[in-house]
A and B are shown apart, each in its own frame.
Chain A
Amino acid sequence: MASETVESTAATDRRSVTERLGLDSEAIRGWLTVLPVILLYLFVAVTPIAFAFYASLFEIPLLAPEWTFTGFSNYVEVLNMGSFWSALWLGGLFMVGSTVLQLLVGLWIALVLNKISYGQRFLTAVAFTAYLVPTVIVVLIALFMFDVEIGVLHIAGSNLGLWGERTFALGDQTWAMPLVVLIGSWKFSIFVTIFTLAQLRAIPERFYEAAKICGASRWEMFRDITLPRIMGVLLIAVLLRAIFMFNKFDIIWMLTEGGPAGATTTLPILAYRTAFLENSYGLANAMAVIMFIFLAIGAYCYFRAFNPAKEVDT
């Protein structure tokens, strides 16, 4: 009698749990199909972030991995580092400069692409070209073009008096950061273009015709018809560009390795240096956690402001 009761409660419990999770055979098969994705995410995203937080509580010389628990002292150390604050400042500068430039150029290209009637397909291909040329190739071409001996841009710049004849522009204190921003924007401006273009093409031509009849100038048409309609997508592009550029490592590292004398050392560069050149793996993970917090704030803004899933649905 007693055992029966226990059994039956267990059975109802089991049913209620499976019901609550909605685990019939269809659901199980559904979850099985997405299992590989979950595993990949666990392995490559969730674990590393948890691990980074854990490792940031230790002092870990990378070459002799002996972990010494130090609590939050890595964070205290990071916040007391002059180089951290200068990297944050330079990273902000790099982020804002790149985002503004890419927004302006990207939008400009999109408007041109949308209006020209000849060579549209060609120009679209050209624009895509810049986006698809691998970063390393962009860097190699840039290094070649700024070469002190034979670089075409180096010669042009020194003839214009921008820098000396023997000055490697990317190794110059004043020029390194602006040039890294420019070279990065050569590649990434098109991101904004592609984002905007579909939206631009969706604006009905009759709006412009009506405005023309009312005697609106081109600027007024842009301000009152085009801009309000692409504002949403532009904001998304700006937010994404800002997040991506703040976390940019590859193009800066390949062009300057953070130099000269730290002039292009942004947060990702500083974290990489700390881990692999200064051998302080725990400290570097504290920086990774701080970068992750920035990312999370950016992601939160992104999801709060735009609800991308809803937009994908429509």
Chain B
Amino acid sequence: MSAPTESEQRLSYETRDRLYQVALYGSAALFTFIILFPIYWMVQNAFTDSQAVITEFAWFPSPETVTLENFSVLTAGAVPTYVINTIVVTIGTIVLVVAVSLVAGYGMARFRFKYKESFAQFLLLGYMFSPIVLGLPLYLIWSETGLLNARIGLVIALSAISMPFAVWLMWKYIQTIPESMEESAWIAGASRWRTFWDVVVPQTKPAIVACALFAFAIAWNDFTFAQILLPSQDSTTFAPGIMRLIDQGGYTSWGDIMAVSFLMTIPPLLFAYFLQEYLLKGFEVRTR
């Protein structure tokens, strides 16, 4: 290989660097487009007159067809019930997951007991639970115990699959809180429970937020468990409910569907943006 002159080398390096920058930002733009276009499409059609959605194809919203009418889907029919069921189940799951994982995480961080490590290992098996494998047998178990078609049954199932992450996070987080503050509270005469509640819990706020977010994502996203465990049309959550409506062919107003989809997407999007650090923190515990 003959040695290139200095100027040739610099030029080629600069060109290559420019190409690299183009490829880098080109990729970034491409990903942004691929991810955001479907979301843009949903939002645009959510605000478009439902007749215009079907008849006139348009890339951009036009003032004549912009409307809020589609959102009236939330005031009548079965959809509001589904949305409320999803909200109730999600809140229930968050509360149960945070409560159970706080207590367990505290116990694992502060008490010494044999087999604790093996127990923690065993918990990690929970990552392998697949809703479809568990859901099939749970169907008959739930129907025997009266939990079928009950929102609490779904809350229990969703909480269980959120456990490994939540408990590990709480455990690791509480380990980083110095025990000395609790000790001084004991010396001042506080009970163990009171110390836990007044000294430990306020300090675990970031971990609580991360656990709550994780439980939210699991519950808000769930389809499989709800489809199997809430088979009745009236008591089910949004995902199976709307799919069954579409299947029955009684519901094909895309404007309405995009409107309610948009509303269901807002909470996760807000979390994605404003709680990024918490999410990344959670993932760090999960992956490392």
Contact = CB atoms under 8 A, between A and B. Distances in A.
Interface of A: 21-22, 26-27, 29-34, 36-37, 40-41, 43-45, 47-49, 51-52, 55, 65, 108-109, 112-113, 115-116, 118-119, 121, 123-145, 147, 149-150, 152, 155, 186, 194-195, 198, 218, 233, 236, 240, 243-244, 247, 249-250, 253-254, 268, 271-272, 275-276, 281, 284-285, 288, 291-292, 295-296, 298-299, 302-303, 308-309, 311-312, 314
A240 B127 CA distance: 9
Contact of A272 (B35, B104, B136, B283): B136
Given A144-B45, A150-B54, A298-B128, A40 B156 contact: yes
B133 interface: yes
B205 interface: no
Interface of B: 16, 20, 24-25, 27-28, 31-32, 34-36, 38-39, 41-42, 45, 53-54, 57, 100-101, 103-104, 106-108, 111-117, 119-121, 123-134, 136-141, 156-157, 159-161, 163, 167-168, 172, 217, 220-221, 223-224, 227-228, 238-239, 242-243, 246, 254, 257-258, 261, 264-265, 268-269, 271-273, 276, 279-280, 283-285, 287-288
A247 B121 contact: no
A48 B130 contact: no
Given A30-B116, A51-B141, A65-B140, A132 B132 contact: no
Given A37-B104, A45-B160, A250-B239, 5 more contacts: A36-B104, A45-B129, A141-B42, A144-B42, A299-B128
A44 B160 contact: yes
Contacts of B119: 34
A285 B113 contact: no
B113 A236 contact: no
Contacts of A152: 41, 57
Contacts of A131: 272
A243 B98 CA distance: 27
Contacts of A49: 133-134, 137
A50 to B, nearest CB: 8
Contact of A136 (B160, B228, B242, B283): B242
A131 B221 CA distance: 10
Nearest to A128: B272
A126 B35 contact: yes
A240 to B, nearest CB: 8
28 contacts: A21-B114, A22-B113, A27-B111, A27-B114, A37-B101, A48-B134, A48-B136, A48-B138, A52-B136, A52-B137, A55-B140, A115-B24, A125-B272, A129-B272, A134-B220, A137-B261, A137-B264, A140-B261, A152-B41, A152-B57, A218-B16, A249-B130, A249-B131, A250-B223, A250-B227, A291-B132, A295-B130, A299-B128
B127 to A, nearest CB: 8
A137 B265 CA distance: 7
A29 B134 contact: no
Contacts of A48: 134, 136-138, 141
Contacts of B133: 49, 52, 247, 268, 288, 291-292, 295
A198 B284 CA distance: 7
Contacts of A314: 288
A194 B137 CA distance: 33
Contact of B106 (A33, A43, A112, A311): A33
A125 B167 CA distance: 26
Nearest to A299: B128
B268 A136 contact: no
B36 A254 contact: no
Closest 7 CB pairs of A and B: A33-B107, A30-B111, A22-B114, A44-B160, A247-B130, A30-B113, A27-B113
A33 B132 contact: no
A167 B261 CA distance: 25
Contacts of A123: 28, 31-32
Contacts of B114: 21-22, 27
A136 B219 CA distance: 12
A275 B77 CA distance: 30
B112 A135 contact: no
Contacts of A124: 276
